[in-house]
Amino acid sequence: MEKEYNKNLIKRAFTALAIVAPIVLIIYLQNFFFFFLIITLVCALAYYEWLKNKFRHPIFWGFNLIFGYFWLLINLIIGDILFSSSIELPLSAYSIFLIVILNTSIFDTFAYVTGSNIGKHFITPNISPNKTWEGLIGGLIGSAALGFIISNMFNSSLLLILIFILGGILAFIGDLIISFHKRENNIKDTGTLLPGHGGALDRLDSHLLATPIILILTILVV
């Protein structure tokens, strides 16, 4: 059991690096059109998995719109910041985007590690049997810690802690929605693109609700 846990943790670490690498490249290049291309590609891969798995439960017709919402809103926000001289930020819009993505990743990692080691009280055993209250709390603590660090680094409002905690909650809800649908279709992962993480949709699920909303709130507070 411990060997399998360590193996999955290593896989998750390497996959997380693979996910962060394009974002770091975006920050380095500071190129809006490259950013647009990456976001579009990720959403297209996720939507392909959506169609391939025939996710047709009525409750998820609305979730199809979220893909468009995520893709459109992220690009519009970043584009507006980059091309508007009236918005002054302590760091680049791309860096803020990375921090928001990092918050969701930290929430996921803390939730996984905490839940795997001390998780006993299951939240939704019929939908996602591995999710526990202990894991959720551990993930939120990780998000709160990141919010505290970022708020101190840039002398921002401590509201950032609450915003990042909200980000963790939204990440959990997004993950739970896809988990519910996978359970309905009797599949474990939406794809095999990312070892240890499943498909693109398995990774994007946590970001669909969290990233657009938390990006807006972070820009307002940072």
CA distance 211 to 126: 27
CA distance 100 to 111: 17
Neighbours of 112 (CB within 10 A): 20
Tens-digit pLDDT string for the chain (222 aa): 556 666 666 666 666 666 667 777 777 777 778 878 888 888 888 888 888 887 766 556 556 656 666 776 776 677 777 666 566 777 777 788 889 988 998 999 899 899 989 989 999 888 888 899 999 999 999 999 999 999 998 888 889 999 999 999 999 998 898 888 888 888 888 887 776 667 888 878 888 888 888 988 888 887
For the chain, give every domain's residue range: 2-221
Joined together, the tokens standing for residue 103 give 């918050």
Quick one: pLDDT at residue 7?
A: 63
Quick one: pLDDT at residue 36?
A: 80
Neighbours of 99 (CB within 10 A): 22
Quick one: pLDDT at residue 93?
A: 78
CA distance 154 to 147: 11
Length of the chain, please? 222
Q: In this structure, which amino acid lies at residue 220?
A: L
